[in-house]
Structure 1
Amino acid sequence: MAERKVDFENRGFQQRWEAEYMFVDIRGQLIEKGKNFIAYSLAVDESTDTTDTAQLAVFIRGVDSSLCVTEELLGIKSMHGTTTGKDIFEEVSKCVNDMKLPWDKLTGLTTDGAPAMCGGKNGLVGRMWDKMQSENCTCELTVYHCIIHQESLCGKALKMEHVMNTVAQTVNFIRARALNHRQFQSFLEEIQSELGDVPYQTEVRSRAQVLNRFFELRDEICQFMEMKAFQAKLRLWEIQMQQGDLCHFPCCQIIKDQVSNAAFLNAHFADKLSTLRAEFTRRFADFEAQKFDFELFSNPFAVDVEKAPANIQIELIELQCNSTLKAKYDTVGPAQFPSFIP
C-alpha cells in the first residue's frame, strides 16, 4: 500500500509539473508573438463559478505587420474580494504588463454592460482611458459592448416578459420533477414527435458562454454588421403587420385564423416591431459609425473609393484594379487575404 501511495504521489507531481511546464511554454510563446504586434485588442469578462468566486477572464487578439492574427486567453484571475472597476482594472493591467505588451498598441476593448466594466469614470473603460493618457498613447481606444449582450438588451425593450414567464413556468414544470419529465418524453414518443426534449430555460447565459459563443460566431457576426439589411426587414414586417399581412408570421396567422380578426391586435404588435427597430438603431450606432472600416476588411474590392480616407484612396484603386489579387481574394477569402497584400 505504501508503494502504491508513493507511486500515486509521484504521478501527481509529474502531472502538475507537466501542466506548469506547458503553461510556461505557452506563455513564453505569447510573449514572443506580442513583441511583433502592431496592434492588439482585449475582451474582458467577469463571471461567478460554482463556489460563488468571481472569475475574471481576459482574452487578447493581436495582429503583426504581416496581418497574421493571434487570439489567446491572456489570463484568468480569481477575485475573492470586491469586483469594482478599480479591482478589475488592476487585474487587467497586471495581465498586460506581465505579457510585456505596450500600452500604445492597445486599440480595442470589449466588455459586458456591467457598471464596473463600462463606467466612463470609475469603471474599467474609464480607467483604461486614463492609463493610456498617462502613458502618452497617441492611438485611439475603441470600446465595444459585446454584441450578444446588446441583442439580449434589445429584446428586453419589447417588454413582453409575460410571454417568456409563461414559457419558463411551463418548461420548469416539465423539467423540475423527474416524473413529469419522463412522462413528457413518453408522450413525445407515443405521438411520434420529430422534436427532441425541451431544454431548461434560463434568464441569462453565463458571461463565459457569451464570450465563447462570440468567438464561435465571429464569421456570422461580420455578416450581422450589415445592420441596414436587418432593419429593412423590420420595417417591412412593421408595415405588413399594420396591414394585417402575416405572411412572415405563420404562427400569428394560425392564431388569427382561430380567433376573429378584431381580436388580433395588429397595431399592438406593429408598435412592438417599431420599438425593436428603434432599439437596434440606438444600441448599434457605434458599429454603424465604423461600418466602412468593417467593409474595407471584409471586401476591399467592393467598397466605394470616394468614401475611403484620402491617404489610402490611390492604393485602394490599385488594389481593386489588380486582377491577380482579386483572384487570390476569391480563392482564400477575407480572413486570409490581408496577408497576401504587398
Structure 2
Amino acid sequence: MSADIKRQVIEKIKSSSMFTIQLDESTDVASISQLMVFAQRDNVHRETIQEEFLFCSSLTETTPAADVMNLVCYFFSKEHLNWGKLIGVCSDGAPALLGRHAGFAQLVKEKNPLVVEGFHQCFAYLVDIFGSINAMNTNMHGRERNVLNVTNSINAFKYKLKLWVERLATGNVKVSFPVLNSLVDKEAPSASLLTDIKHHSNSLIAKFERYFPKLDSRTEQLMILTRDPFRRNVHEISEQFQEKFLELTNNSALKDDFKELSI
C-alpha cells in the first residue's frame, strides 16, 4: 500500500463515527508469523462493510496477547486513532487472541469497555435484515400498489422470517443473510450470535403479527372476490349480493375491461 493511499485510509477511519478491527495471523515466505490488522467501516445505507488494510507486523512464535496489544496501541498512538470510536474487534482465532480473561479482546475492553467481540457479524446481520425490510417497503410503494398486493408483500415477508428462523436452527445463513454469509468463511457465526439472531427474528415476527394480523374470513373473501370476480362461484357470495354478482359476472364489457385494466 502506497503512503498516499494509506494516509487516505487513515483519514477515512479517523473521520468515521465508528469502526471495527479484524486481526488475522498469517505466515510469510520465510515462515515468519505476521499479524495483519484491518479496519472495517460499516455503511448501512450502502449495505456494505468496507474493509481496509491498516498494518502488518512480524510476530514471534509464542507472541502473547499483551505483545499484540502493544503493536496495536503503538499504531493507534502513531496515527492518532481514537479508541472511543472502536466498537468491535474480532480475530481469526489465534490462541494469543482468544483468551476471555487475558486475551487481546479483553485488553481492548480495558481501553474501551463498550467494545463488542464479533461486532462485524452483528452489524452484517443488521445490514441484511434492514435491506430486506427496505426492499419490502419499496415494493409497497407506487401507482399500481393497492391493498391486495401490499397485503401479499407483508404476508410474504412474515413467511420469510419464519423460514429464516428454521434455517438458523442448523446454522444456515447462506441464503437468508448474504452480507453475514460473506464473513462466515473468515469466522463462523457463534452459537450465541445465532441465538441472538433467532430471538430478534422471532421478535420481528411477533411485531408483524401484531401490526398486520391475519384477515378475518369476511375480509379475506372480499379480497378473493376483488382479485378475480369472474372466476368465483355465486355460492361463495353472501345472499344479499348474489344477484348483483350474477349481473356483474355476466357483463361482457366489464369482463373485457377487467382483463385490460389494473384493479
Normalising by the smaller structure, the TM-score range is: 0.3 to 0.5
**TM, length-normalised to structure 1:** 0.37
Q: Which has the larger radius of gyration?
A: 2
**TM, length-normalised to structure 2:** 0.47
